[in-house]
Structure 1
């Protein structure tokens, strides 16, 4: 009886923190939309919101995977390169090897899955920081993308355009798929043993070992999952642009990490939410679209985006300290 009461008491601050994060992010998002609607007469329009919705699926699905990786106290810097290589392999399969579109799509997903699994396996087997392993993968995979495409953009045309085709008032099927992935991932995180194991590993890996849970296969599975989602992101981008660019995704890993951090996931592991990560993705997308519409220069956009990220980390740190107190 006492144990139950103690567990409920410990869980209460967590729920209050998550609710506070959700409300805060929603308020920031609404405030940004109001601000840019005031600054630009064109921002508050159906076209703007449809454009934002159709541009974020790739970022959103990779942010889902990065949420899981950060929860286990890891990091993956190779997602942008994996996205580019996955798109490149699918384009090569269609254009050069004359594979069917479904087979090429499976190859793209398998490519991402393999890249992620290798990152996870190497970091686990040799007990190396995932930061270093994924940094090496970033370069190796990017070089592989150049080799597959002969360093040239591969134009696939409308071969996989169904993924970017509008299905609901101009919104693409990729956006609908991204929303479904966010919902399923949140359920996995909050309602399954796998999700609780991820949180446990990020909180105290040694305690998980003592409890009889081997964290190694879980770590590898999480990195394989983010690789799979990066492969899906590559397909989404190819469908939207009708091309596979070996330079695609350069620097996107920073956007992905920023979205997850803005969403309140701890860089130290053990805490995070896929739903709030989705809000982080929306905040970044609205910020970029709004700054573009008000005519901000590229250096200004980078400065403002960086300031927002730092502010989000500061707010999250203050919230954690207040919760601990």
Structure 2
């Protein structure tokens, strides 16, 4: 008796199961987002408005692209704490190129993004070459990048002007080009993760790196590439910030890494590696952004906002640990 129909049926059932599980995760995140929006709409008469959501959409792009990079980093079992400082370094490099060297806008932008990508590559190479925890390496890079940003700008904000403002000027429906670009990055990154060999390798590396190595695949170049992409996205985020502020601030991105990690973990990407979704990360960004905007409109003090945001992060980590333990028991 042929087993082909049985195998085909098992494949279909498995695919449908994964699809339903993924849809359930999206619905859960969407429900949490709707609850937040409903809550803040009840507590603040100004929250549920066109102006609020237009401002939200145009302030999120830097967090969105950084969260995409962090999703990939966490999927391979790493972490990058330097993204905020690398963002500031890229912005400082752009300001020096334009104001100090007289470069044009495009060459300066490319230089800033390339500088950020180079820093990310260095983080990945050190992590991989010496088998060091990326937590420690990126913590050191955080300090180095921030120090370089201070040196480049003499610890002062460099006002660049309106060279990049077209990125943040609202177009149709009050949405800026930066938001559209960030959305495209999310769509492409999700397709790369679920539809390409590269994406499958990343998930396999995060799940069991030794098994990947025994299968004849060298995981080291893929891990370095992921950190390079993280740096590149930090450079792009720097452009988005400069377009809004019309300036490069050496203090930019301070503490931003915590928001990025929070958004990714809330989206369901595992801190242990091997599991993640860019679309879910986008929901995490929306939840973090709506939470921050709602608390600001309610006039919640900065210390209280930090307490609430920190509590959300802890809850997300606890839920991630619970999911991981339940998955291990099921397997």
TM-score tier, shorter chain, comes to: over 0.9
Which deviations, in whole Å up to 9, do the C-alpha atoms of 1:224-243 show, x marking residues without a partner?
Answer: 00000000001110110101
Quick check: 1:225 aligned with 2:229? Answer: yes
Say if 2:303 is the partner of 1:299.
Answer: yes
TM-score (norm 2): 0.95
Name the structure 1 match of 2:258: 254
1:131-174 Cα shifts (integer Å, max 9, x gaps): 11111100001001011111110001101111112122221110
Q: TM-score, normalised by structure 1?
A: 0.96
Structure 2 CA distance for partners of 1:158 and 1:311, relative to 1, 3 Å: same
Is the aligned partner of 1:164 residue 2:172?
no
Aligned residues: 325
Q: Distance in 1 between matches of 2:325 and 2:30?
A: 22
CA shift for structure 1 position 302: 1.0
2:104 to 97, 100, 104: 100
How far did residue 271 of structure 1 move? Answer: 0.3
Residue number in structure 1 paired with 2:178: 174
- Please state whether the residue corresponding to 2:131 is helix, strand or coil: coil
C-alpha offsets along residues 34-69 of structure 1, whole Å, 9 cap, x if unaligned?
000000000010000000001110011000000000
SS in 1 for 2:194: helix
User: Using the alignment, how far apart are the partners of 2:89 and 2:172 within structure 1?
Assistant: 30
Pair 50,20 (structure 1): closer, same or farther in 2 beyond 3 Å: same
Q: Distance in 1 between matches of 2:314 and 2:123?
A: 28
Deviations 1:228-284 (A, max 9, x none): 000000111011010100011011001100000000000000000000000000000
Pair 1:257–1:294, CA change in 2 (3 A): same
- Distance in structure 2 (CA, Å) of the matches to 1:13 and 1:220: 33
Counterpart-to-counterpart distance in 1, 2:204 and 2:62? 28
The alpha-carbon deviation at position 16 of structure 1 amounts to 3.8
- In the aligned structure 1, how far is the partner of 2:84 from the partner of 2:17? 35
Task: Mark the CA change 1:72 to 1:9 in structure 2 (over 3 Å): closer, same or farther.
Answer: farther
- How far apart are residue 306 of structure 1 and its match? 1.3
How far apart, CA to CA, are the structure 1 residues paired with 2:141 and 2:120?
A: 9
Counterpart CA distance in 2 for 1:214 and 1:10 is 29
- Does the alignment pair 1:196 with 2:187? no
In structure 2, the partner of 1:214 is 218
2:291 maps to which residue?
Answer: 287
Give the match's secondary structure for 1:169. Answer: helix
Query: How far apart are the structure 2 equivalents of 1:269 and 1:17?
Result: 18
1:73 aligns with 2:73: no
Q: CA deviation at 1:7?
A: 5.7
Query: What is the CA-CA distance between 1:21 and the residue it aligns to?
Result: 1.6
Deviation for aligned residue 1:292: 0.7
Structure 1 Cα separation of the partners of residues 130 and 326 of structure 2:
37
Q: Which residue of 1 aligns with 2:67?
A: 63
Distance in 2 of aligned mates of 1:261 and 1:289: 20
Question: What residue number does 1:45 align with?
Answer: 49
Give 1:232-243 correspondences, 5 Å limit. 232-243=236-247
- Taking only aligned residues, the RMSD between alpha carbons, in angstroms, comes to 1.5
Greater shift, 238-247 or 7-16, is seen at 7-16
2:90 equivalent in structure 1? 86
**1:309 Cα deviation after fit:** 1.7
